Chains A and B, each alone.
Chain A
Amino acid sequence: MKILSKEVLSDFQGVRVISMEIFAPKIALKAKPGQFIALMVNKDGERVPLTIVSTGNDSIRIIFQEAGFTTRLLGRLNLQDTLYAIVGPLGHATDIKRFGKVILVGGGVGIAEIYPVAKALKEAGNNVTGILGARTRDLLILENELREASSQLFVATDDGSYQRKGFVTDILKELLEKDKYDLVYSVGPIPMMKRVAQVTKGFKVKTIVSLNALMVDATGMCGCCRVTVSGQTKFSCIDGPEFEAQEIDWEELTQRNRVYQDKEKHICNLNKLF
């Protein structure tokens, strides 16, 4: 549970994206693309889920944006610091097989989460197209890694500071209009994934997203992460984290992820973390 390496991947107006390698040999041995861990920074900490981006011999790598209280606390840890708890690998692994032509859409820190999937899909013989999106150039991460894992890579920035000005979904739409694809896989902010689902719907292409629902135990015990899929309640932690994008009740998910917004602000202010 010791931190073996720490790298700041991007830092834009105080918002940092950090990569950490954590000693966790048992988890490293079993982890597959698409799976996640739950961790606690200290004994008073929350349990938060984070995707396993890659594994080493004895370690796993996580990448996170300092978005809320716990991720900011995590970002303050340094080499040789030890996490209070880490458990995993959790959730179902991504279905890796030869689909044919696949598009991977990553937005913001979600780019880190499509990376292991892109790599595995390429190794399984797929033609991988990557589309990365960031608010601005300084927030774009893992471009080189994704370029390596893809046959072709597109980048969009909201402000046009790098490559295409606009959204990942603009590029996605153009690609789908030009050619036939067998799978779209996307991770990013909820509005982006929702928009991806809307775009792909018209093209009848299988679309998988990995959700970032709130969790407590992350082992199916509490139901905090429930999400409506095809009209049925599913638990993101044990039934997911991946679901068919078009079947998800996005509005409900958006609302449920805001349920502790006030408390989050409060605890951040209190600890002067914003």
Chain B
Amino acid sequence: MPKPAVKTKEVPACERILGFSEVTCGYTQEEAILEASRCLQCKDPKCIPGCPVGINIKQFIKQVTQKDFAGAYYTIREKNNFPCICGRVCPAEYQCRKACVLTKKDSPFASADSINIHFIERFVGDFGMKNGLKVNIIPDEKISGHKVAVVGSGPAGLCCAGELARLGVKVTVFEALHKNGGVLRYGIPPFRMPRDILDFEINYLKSLGVEILPNFIVGKTNDLADLFKEGFSAVFLGLGAGVPSFLGIAGENLCNVYSANEFLTRVNLMSAYEFPKAHTPVNIGKHILVVGGGNTAMDAARCALRLQKMNNIEPDTTIVYRRTEVEMPARRLEIEHAKEEGVKFKMLVSPQEFKGDDSGFVKVLKSLECKLGQPDASGRRRPVAIEGSDFEIECDLAIIAIGLKANQVLTSVTPEIKTDKYSDVIVNPQTMETSMRGVFAGGDIVGGEGTVIEAMGMAKKAALAIKDYLYQLPIK
């Protein structure tokens, strides 16, 4: 029997809901070594193929046991430019940890006994940050004279930019918003992704020579043809899955019904929790409902509950989901954290209609109860609404967190780029190249909604293909 997993310290729930500071404290050096020493150092490690960017997990864990933290840092950096980010937001229990030999067979996600790879990664990343460890740029003279444009400064764009910058390629990242980071900043709350960590990782990228231009919408401010005219040799599109989906039920446009994107953008990007010091407002309800079961739903609910607490409103935030907890796509850790903080969970609810008051503000959600039927295409049991089971849930603020669709601002003005029926960009899966020559894509605009690390996996693949593409061009 292996030793039990080393838990990481967390700020107690009653304290952390008073603000937006980080919940998980991360391993101390001793804890990291202790956890790393639980690793069985498998001959044929399953965790590595479980990582979308193929980090040599076995090796960096071994280096941690040997107290060679710098070595561990460089091992991770070989494959991943953002260990501090990924160590915090990766859904490890569906990836490396699920693949870990210590996870029980047929378990839908990692067992508690599996190695806490992400926490060790976070420790190593933070070690590198604190000690100013730098990765050398090794200019590849055949291509280092080229300029590459990256559209979008979210996980995919940043990753692609980092990979190319390390080869000496001059990268310019175009960002639509006034701040960089994409979903890492507007979507993921500071209590999961502290802003100083995010800034550090992005500043690191800038130190590699990457230029980031905010307030620039490719497709509006200029277009792809302009970029090529301006001398960019290739373009990477990391546009993200930008447009929020709604339930399509009556009353959804009542006041105080938000998309999760809007709610989180107001809170995280625009700092509405500091209103009126920050000028962007957000409303706070006495009875808040969040519809959905993914990480975004957890983030929205935990932000909402904090806002209630910070405004002296007795916290009452409830997640309603049409299946049960087991089918929830959110990270298990987020579900646990949400529960600890007092978020309520109401399962097997199928929303039917929002009703409002005379001023058009939402007052109640009419719903049906569900039961689970046969598994659907995703392998999860399908929710079936029970006729006649109507009931009402009081709510004066609702947040819809049921997913996103492709943003077509760029593709709608670029007919050369072929898209599928979901308006996602179609790419050659080997190279991530789109139907437009010299234009590559990755992240949610290709795969639909995925995780930060999946986006980075695609971006890495694209960066390699861009490298090959640049090789074919005349040396600049």
Contact = CB atoms under 8 A, between A and B. Distances in A.
A260 interface: yes
Interface string B326-365: 0000000000000000000000000000000001110000
B233 interface: no
Contacts of B278: 44
Given A224-B262, A256-B253, A217 B177 contact: yes
A259 B257 CA distance: 10
A26 interface: yes
Nearest to B215: A87
A222 B261 contact: yes
Contacts of B270: 46-47, 216
Contacts of A260: 281, 283
Given A84-B178, A217-B265, A219-B407, A233 B253 contact: yes
A117 to B, nearest CB: 19
Interface string A204-230: 000000000000110111111011100
Nearest to B244: A223
A40 B269 CA distance: 13
Interface string A241-274: 0000000010110011011100110110011000
B359 A255 contact: yes
B243 interface: yes
Interface stretch (B75-83, B216-224, B317-325, B455-463): B216-224
A85 B214 contact: yes
A221 B360 contact: no
A70 B409 contact: no
Interface in B30-63: none
Given A44-B277, A46-B280, A47-B270, A221 B265 contact: yes
Contact of A222 (B221, B255, B259): B259
Given A85-B214, A228-B253, A220 B243 contact: yes
Contacts of B222: 26, 30
B407 A220 contact: yes
Contact of A233 (B216, B246, B277): B246
Contacts of B178: 40, 47, 84-85, 87
Interface string B403-420: 000011100000000000
B262 A222 contact: yes
B280 A216 contact: yes
A259 B242 CA distance: 24
Contact of B220 (A40, A69, A89, A233): A89
A259 B283 contact: yes
A226 B242 CA distance: 15
Contact of B279 (A217, A220, A238, A267): A267
B309 interface: no
B397 to A, nearest CB: 11
A30 B253 contact: no
Q: In which size bucket is the chain B interface?
A: 35 or more
B355 to A, nearest CB: 14
Contact of A255 (B177, B186, B360, B408): B360
A223 B360 contact: no
B409 A220 contact: yes
Chain A contact residues: over half helix, strand or loop, or mixed? mixed
A45 B279 contact: yes
B449 to A, nearest CB: 14
A47 B265 CA distance: 11
A223 B255 contact: no
Contacts of B195: none
Contacts of A219: 176-177, 217, 242, 407, 409
Interface in B281-326: 281, 283
A27 interface: yes
Contacts of A85: 178, 214-215
A44 B279 contact: yes
B180 interface: no
B221 A88 contact: yes
Interface in B206-255: 214-217, 220-222, 242-244, 246, 252-255
A156 interface: no
Given A223-B259, A233-B252, A259-B255, A216 B360 contact: no
Contacts of A264: 281
Contacts of A255: 254-255, 359-361
A44 B271 contact: yes
A221 B242 contact: yes
B95 interface: no
Contacts of A252: 253, 360
Given A70-B279, A85-B214, A216 B262 contact: yes
A221 B217 contact: no
A86 interface: yes
A226 B279 contact: no
A240 B281 CA distance: 24
A73 B337 CA distance: 40
Q: Which of B220, B242, B265 has the most CB of A within 10 A?
A: B220
B262 A223 contact: yes
Contacts of A271: 276
18 contacts: A26-B222, A40-B178, A44-B278, A69-B279, A73-B279, A87-B176, A87-B178, A87-B221, A89-B221, A219-B242, A220-B242, A220-B407, A220-B408, A238-B408, A249-B253, A251-B360, A258-B360, A271-B276
Given A87-B177, A258-B359, 4 more contacts: A47-B178, A87-B217, A223-B261, A256-B255
User: 6 tightest A-B contacts by CB?
Assistant: A255-B360, A222-B262, A85-B178, A263-B281, A267-B276, A223-B259
Interface of A: 26-27, 30, 40, 44-47, 69-70, 73, 84-90, 216-217, 219-224, 226-228, 233, 235, 238, 249, 251-252, 255-256, 258-260, 263-264, 266-267, 270-271
